[in-house]
Structure 1
């Protein structure tokens, strides 16, 4: 089973989504949270911090991430478990630093996510279930 992590950067009622390039082998032309595979010997939190920096250029503030849950896809050798994390605080302004993977990034209101073609249809409900939604931006300069 492949293990993947993805992170929800949230400001007010919006979450930062990435649009997977139409040329991607897996889940092309769909919206998703940024993230990627957990490498051998790497914890999910280390992978989350690495992926957020590689893809968006932001640094996750230590101890600010909380697990929202797991999503699953595929079966057999293609099975994937995706750990979904809420990132409570980060340093930097997100930019698309992986244009070969994502052809766009956008802040999207959670209430508007159901209308988008998403990798996981359950994602909006999972984000709405977070314990105490922050209404203030948590980006740190």
Structure 2
């Protein structure tokens, strides 16, 4: 099983999404939360911090991260477990530092997520439930 983490940077009722490149093998041409694989020996929070730094150039404040939930996809050798985290505080301004993975990034209102092609369709509900 592959273990993946994703991070929801939420600010002013909007979440930062990345658009997966149409050339990606998994979930091409869809909007998603930034994140990636948990490396051997890493905790989910360590992987989340590394991925946010690599993909967006931001340093998350680990104490501000809270788990929103988990998604499961695929089966057998292709099974994926995705830990979804809300990040309340970070340092830096997000920029697309992984253009080979994402061809765009955008702040999207949580109430506007239903109109986008998303990797996980229940993202809006998950964020609404976990956002005061």
Fold-level similarity (TM above 0.5): yes
The aligned counterpart of 1:115 is 115
1:105 corresponds in structure 2 to 105
Alignment partner, residue 44 of structure 1: 44
The number of equivalent residue pairs is 132
Question: Counterparts in 2 of 1:1-141, with a 5 A limit?
Answer: 1-130=1-130, 132-133=131-132
* Worse-matched range after superposition: 58-67 or 97-106: 58-67
Structure number having the greater helix percentage: 2
Structure 2: runs of 5 or more not aligned: none
Kindly state the Cα deviation for residue 62 of structure 1 after the two structures are TM-superposed.
2.8
Rounded Cα–Cα distance in structure 2 between residues aligned with 1:47 and 1:66: 14
- The whole-number CA distance in structure 2 between the counterparts of 1:69 and 1:43 is 16
Any idea what the Cα deviations from partners look like across 1:76-135, whole Å, max 9, x if unmatched?
1101010000001000000000000000000000111011000001111111111x52xx
SS at match of 2:62: coil
RMSD between aligned residues: 0.7
Q: 1:138 matched to which residue of 2?
A: none
| TM-score (normalised: structure 1) | 0.92
